[in-house]
Amino acid sequence: MTALIKRARYGLLPAVTAFAVLAPLVPASAGTTSAITLRGGWAAFTRCPVDDSTMLAATGQAPDGSGSSALCATADSPSGTIKLGSTTATTGDTNLQAGLVGSFSAGFSVVSPTGGGVVSAPVDIPGGLLGLICPSSIPVISAICQEIINSPLNTVAAVVQPAGQPSNFNLGAGLSKGQPILTLPVKVQLQNPILGSNCYLGSDSDPIVLKPENLVTPKVTTKRFNPNGKLNKKGVLQDIAVTGKQGDNSFSVPGAAGCGGALSFLIDPILDAKEGLPSPAGSNSLVLSNSVTSIAGYVNSAKFYPNEGKDLSAAWHSAVLP
């Protein structure tokens, strides 16, 4: 076991695994904005919001477990699948970077960089709008179907958005298989000019509730480094990376709402009928394959960092390459 795990940071690995599933769901807040190049052990954490006031205020965890830690986190999921009703789509490459502030006894809050923590490829819906609402015997919908054949207007992108705060975080589940790690309420926006800006599956009041879990036992690797990022087996900072496969098939999906603006009273029920919505629990799924999540923090179990947030920020900035 590493020194970082031996410390009160024993819960870091479950936090790493749960963070991977949070990737598409973290809202924006203040912090570091520019994507830059960092040395060595810091290389993956280019957008960590180390200058956010919440991060800077971290006092460090005392030997008795009191206080708060500041950590940098990144999650990469190159591929996966999501099934909503009768539609299955391939997820694009997604990278999330954020900070974590708190303790393993009281839990962590998530701090995102300015502009949002997620950089991701859009998820295109197979068949586009033609597949969602066509053909139709309703004249106005039939006219739309004719208009979008071989047109860019046919493209529909699905975007996952938060629909409430995560809850029920389970530290132990992060290292085991088949236990829900946390509860995540989300909604899915279907983006298309004809569908308008308010076309959603799920809402803040009626969300899609994900309870992701490890589908396989995760693989753990570690490396240690100096504050300036130079790799060092005895460095005071450590990056713990978890590679694995997460997913959930327990969630239900509400029917469509607000699709097509003034025509939503026509398009919503057509979309529902075509896509098998509302879709009950067990008929939907999310799988994130080969996801790699890393969290960096201080190692030394014999030392208390009373200014941990400021120390972490100074260390991060010292690793910036010209």
Instruction: Confirm if 151 and 119 have CB atoms less than 8 A apart.
Output: no
CA–CA–CA angle 104, 176, 103 (5° rounding): 5
> What was the pLDDT predicted at 175?
61
> What was the pLDDT predicted at 30?
41
> What was the pLDDT predicted at 89?
86
> What percent of the chain stands above pLDDT 70?
81
Ranges of beta strands (E only) in 11-156 are 60-61, 67-77, 79-84, 87-91, 94-103, 107-111, 118-120, 123-124
> What was the pLDDT predicted at 282?
93
Residue 20 — pLDDT band, cuts 50, 70, 90?
Answer: low
More confident residue, 158 or 306: 158
**Based on the structure, what is the number of domains in the chain?**
1
pLDDT for residue 250 is more than 70? yes
pLDDT for residue 7 is more than 60? no
Q: Which DSSP category does 160 fall into?
A: E
For 136, counting Cβ atoms within 10 Å of its Cβ (0-12 exposed, 13-18 middle, 19+ buried), the class is middle
Helix (H) or strand (E) holding 290: strand 285-298
CA distance 185 to 234: 41
> What was the pLDDT predicted at 275?
94
| C-alpha Rg value of the chain to the nearest Å | 22
Question: What is the identity of the amino acid at 200?
Answer: Y
pLDDT for residue 319 is more than 90? yes
Residue 4 — pLDDT band, cuts 50, 70, 90?
Answer: very low
> What was the pLDDT predicted at 242?
79
Residue of 133, 199, 123 lying closest to 158 (CA atoms)? 123
Residue 259 — pLDDT band, cuts 50, 70, 90?
Answer: very high
Q: What is the mean pLDDT of residues 218-240?
A: 92
Residue 33 — pLDDT band, cuts 50, 70, 90?
Answer: very low
More confident residue, 48 or 98: 48
pLDDT for residue 54 is more than 70? yes
Q: What is the mean pLDDT of residues 254-282?
A: 96
pLDDT for residue 212 is more than 90? no
Summarize pLDDT for 72-87 with one digit per residue, the tens. Answer: 988 777 888 889 999 9
pLDDT for residue 268 is more than 60? yes
Q: What is the mean pLDDT of the chain?
A: 82
Helix (H) or strand (E) holding 248: strand 237-248
Distances (CA, A) of 9 to 20, 76, 118, 207: 18, 22, 25, 32
Residue 322 — pLDDT band, cuts 50, 70, 90?
Answer: confident
Q: Print the domain residue range for 148.
A: 3-318
Return the structure tokens found at 272: 């529902």
Residue 166 — pLDDT band, cuts 50, 70, 90?
Answer: low
Return the structure tokens found at 189: 């926006």
Return the structure tokens found at 214: 């490890």
Tell whether the torsion through CA atoms of 38, 14, 55 and 310 is positive or negative.
negative
> What was the pLDDT predicted at 261?
95
Summarize pLDDT for 173-190 with one digit per residue, the tens. Answer: 666 688 887 777 888 999
CA distance 227 to 235: 8
Residue 229 — pLDDT band, cuts 50, 70, 90?
Answer: very high
